[in-house]
Chains A and B, each alone.
Chain A
Amino acid sequence: MSVAVDLATLWAFIIALAVFIYVVMDGFDLGLGILFPLFPGKHDRDVITNTVAPVWDGNETWLVLGGGGLMAAFPLAYSVLLPALYAPLIAMLVGLIFRGVAFEFRWRTRAQRNLWDIAFAGGSWVAALAQGIALGAILQGVHVEGRHYAGGWWDWLTPFSILTGVSLVTGYALLGATWLILKTEGDLRDKAYRISWVLLFMMLLAIAAVSLATPLLTIQYAQRWFSWPAIVLTAPVPLAVIGVTVLLMKNLAQKHDVWPFVLALALFFLSYAGLGISMYPYIVPQSITIWQAAAPERSQLIMLPGVLVLVPLILGYTAWAYWVFRGKVGHDAGYH
């Protein structure tokens, strides 16, 4: 069964990659919605939505791949986790519906534009918070019996999951603010710098809080992070976080255009890697490993060529779309 073992690990990486690409790409455009209340002016809001209008659809598609891929490659995990995360997932879907249609609707009405702006901001907040809560709920483990979720429908709600929820909102907002630095100019960009400073400190606080709280959840997480020799592998992660933070501060101070966004992404990557270290090889922490949840070999095999050929292709034409709409967004691009 060595082939199956390798396949399951490979698929765990593929799903993790899809989720990470989703977090990175939809993260900054959800972040824009989170920051919307700070930019009450119509012109600012038009520019902000224009920076992502051509690409948000593609960004959200990674979420569908994450969900669909999980069902295909790890059906057991999909069927245990989704009922466990029922309420946050429904809230996330409703949030995504509102903010998604708001992109189109706010241009089609003058009278109700404010309402759709509220829908855009509110939907982004709810979706981000729900995703963070879902993450925390997975990390703290869910109650499994046999092949089913056996907990109640409020089990996800704990101080820890609220902490991860708020943390993700903060992180997305930081991505959004640094994205605005990259894509806008003038007063809007200046404001984005100021907001980025505040959010960076909040994000560091959030990373510290989640990092300290996670090992307290179970002894396994603590051993994973602090036991010898694992610590040789895990210690570089917090050290890298410190390094990236210093660089990010330097670039914010120097008012660099591109680097703040890239470094904010790096912070996300490190946090994400930290999560991976905590969870592996479990897909439902403490209950189901990736090998137990893996779909039959034939199912994982049939999708492999698709992923190996198509994902690079997708990344290619997605990059092209970003390239087409590169540069600062002023008054005259996208919707206006």
Chain B
Amino acid sequence: MFGLDAVELARAQFAFTVTFHIIFPAFSIGLASYLAVLEALWLWTGRDVYLNVFNYWLKIFAIAFAMGVVSGIVMSYQFGTNWSVYSDKVGPVIGPLMAYEVLTAFFLEAGFLGVMLFGLKRVGPKLHFLATLMVAVGTLISAFWILSANSWMQTPAGYAVNADGQFVSVDWLKVIFNPSFPYRLVHMVLAAYLTTSLVVGAVGAWHLLRNPHLPGPRVMFSMAMWMAALVAPLQILVGDQHGLNTLEHQPVKIMAMEGHFESHKDGAPLYLFGWPDQEKGELKYALGIPKFGSLILKHQIDAPMAGLDTVPRQDWPPVPITFWSFRIMVGLGMLMLALGLFSLWERWRGRLYINRGLHRFAIAMGPAGFIAVMAGWITTETGRQPFTVYGLLRTADSVSPLAAPAVGTSLLAFIIVYFIIFAAGVAYILRLMAEPPHPGERGPSSEPPIRTAGVTPAAGVVQGAGS
């Protein structure tokens, strides 16, 4: 089917479903924390604007969370349906990490989500805040476990192989806190925070363009731009450290990211652009800064760096994808930094809420976080090919004994279903975003308000519960 064999189809299916899935956690990790901060500010200051903005984003959170849940269930079964050999061999190590994710995170999120969405009136503001906090903490715990599992596959540690060919743990702490895990975890959580702040900032900017005096959009935009200004530079620093860690543990991935087909004895260049030709093993039309690659990666201008010519061909990752997705991520990161700095400058000049150029820039950057997250994951997941467990288990040896038509049919089904769901979900979220938060904004416990005079009749109910 599609001229692909079963392994390629299974890979396409995993790539498609996981790329679709990561959009929602990337958003809901950040949004859950943002909601907790908003509710805390509301409880602390008593200002209604925080509750309005909270309820506004809560409705969007409900949709994004539901889409994250259903696309996540697919992931937890796909290991078995399409990657059964992998599951049999790696299950004893990865399985417990995922089981702990379910036990410590998924249940916490799902258990308190109902109260968070619908329960303010029933449980009162203090308990409701606790529920919001539990959901936010749950998203972070979830990130902890799943990134630990992913990192173990990238940099396996603390394991042995038993008589059945299964990986088994000899030291759980080494398994969980494997070498790339701390970097990946911080990088991803910051990415989620940045992604959310860019979305919140774009929505705030969109409404400020129409009316710079609206209190809700001002709160959103100001908070989002603080976040971008503080986190974007931090993220670049963390990304650099993550890169150094990758160089130590997965040097071949770095070669692909940098387009280093050939080795450099005294100082490798930093290629900015070029066209990687996997077949010929060369970077065409390369534009680079001499010696700069060694400076960044080895902090020494003349440090020798090995290239893909030192690696057997069958162990090469797909270089063009790795090379380009990495550049997309880094480029967007630089733009985020620029937005953060621009906002700081305008804030200092007292023009944060009125500079239309800044607002337009922020709107354009609204989806940048999602694209950067996807590009980053594509870099790290493509760059560790052709292995599922780095250096130990090949992707081609991990797949289920299934015929291509079975995998192709299910891939087709997922593509159709996800496009329907995605189109509808994004449309509904954009529709909610098109309105600014109103005084007396209601939470998800309401239909889209019938807008007659701007203030909805049930406003007093929720506010009554809070005061």
Residues of A in contact with B (beta carbons under 8 Å apart): 53-55, 57-58, 60-61, 63-65, 67-73, 75-76, 78-83, 85-87, 89-90, 93-94, 96-98, 100-101, 103-105, 107-109, 112, 147-150, 153, 295-296, 298-299, 302-303, 306-307, 310-311, 314, 317-318, 321, 324-325, 333-336
Contacts and interface: CB of A to CB of B under 8 A. Distances in A.
Contacts of A78: 79-80, 84, 87-88, 91, 95
Nearest to B62: A104
- The residue among B85, B101, B170, B428 with the most chain A CB atoms within 10 A of its own CB is B428
B135 to A, nearest CB: 10
A89 B66 contact: no
B122 interface: yes
A75 B166 CA distance: 10
Contacts of B112: 317, 321
B76 to A, nearest CB: 5
Nearest to A319: B111
A72 B93 CA distance: 8
B85 A72 contact: no
A112 B424 contact: yes
Given A63-B73, A69-B95, A321-B111, 20 more contacts: A54-B114, A57-B69, A57-B110, A58-B111, A61-B102, A68-B95, A68-B99, A72-B99, A75-B88, A78-B91, A82-B80, A83-B401, A94-B414, A97-B74, A108-B428, A148-B85, A296-B169, A298-B92, A321-B114, A324-B122
Interface stretch (B44-52, B248-256, B276-284, B441-449): B441-449
A79 B85 contact: yes
Most chain A CB neighbours (cut-off 10 Å) among B69, B102, B123: B102
- Chain A interface, >50% SS class: helix
Given A71-B91, A108-B428, A103 B85 contact: no
Nearest to B400: A83
A71 B84 CA distance: 10
B164 A89 contact: no
Contacts of A303: 96, 99-100
A336 B73 contact: no
A54 B118 contact: yes
B447 A147 contact: no
A107 B444 CA distance: 9
B392 interface: no
A58 to B, nearest CB: 4
The CB with the most chain A CB atoms within 10 A, among B101, B109, B113, is that of B113
Nearest to A91: B413
A68 B80 contact: no
B314 interface: no
B117 A54 contact: yes
Nearest to B113: A57
Nearest to B105: A61
Contact of B111 (A147, A311, A314): A314
Nearest to B79: A71
A314 B113 CA distance: 13
B91 A325 contact: no
A64 B80 contact: no
A223 B434 CA distance: 66
Contacts of B119: 54, 324-325
A116 to B, nearest CB: 8
Interface stretch (B220-228, B300-308, B361-369, B402-410): B402-410
Contacts of B170: 298
B76 A67 contact: yes
A75 B111 contact: no
B38 interface: no
A251 to B, nearest CB: 28
Contacts of A101: 66-67, 70, 421, 424-425
Nearest to B90: A75
B452 interface: no
A71 B89 CA distance: 10
B113 to A, nearest CB: 5
B115 interface: yes
Contacts of A109: 428
Interface of B: 62-63, 65-67, 69-74, 76-77, 79-81, 84-85, 87-96, 98-104, 106-115, 117-119, 122-123, 162, 164, 166, 168-170, 172, 400-403, 405-406, 410, 413-414, 417, 421, 424-425, 428, 431-432, 444-448
Contacts of A82: 77, 79-81, 84, 87, 400
A325 B431 contact: no
A141 B393 CA distance: 30
Contacts of B95: 68-69, 71-73, 75, 78, 295, 299
Contacts of B99: 65, 68-69, 71-73, 303, 306
B301 to A, nearest CB: 47
Contacts of A54: 113-115, 117-119
Given A58-B111, A72-B96, A79 B87 contact: yes
Contact of B84 (A64, A83, A324, A335): A83
A116 B79 CA distance: 29
Nearest to B405: A153
25 contacts: A60-B69, A60-B110, A71-B95, A78-B84, A79-B400, A90-B413, A93-B73, A94-B417, A97-B70, A100-B66, A109-B428, A149-B400, A153-B402, A153-B405, A153-B406, A298-B169, A299-B169, A302-B96, A302-B172, A310-B103, A310-B104, A318-B111, A335-B444, A335-B445, A336-B447
Nearest to A115: B424
A61 B110 contact: yes
A19 B186 CA distance: 34
A153 B404 CA distance: 11
Contacts of A98: 417, 421
B462 to A, nearest CB: 13
A185 to B, nearest CB: 19
Nearest to A81: B80
Contacts of A336: 445-447
B160 to A, nearest CB: 9
Contacts of A325: 114, 118-119, 122
Contacts of B102: 61, 64-65, 68-69
A302 B222 CA distance: 45
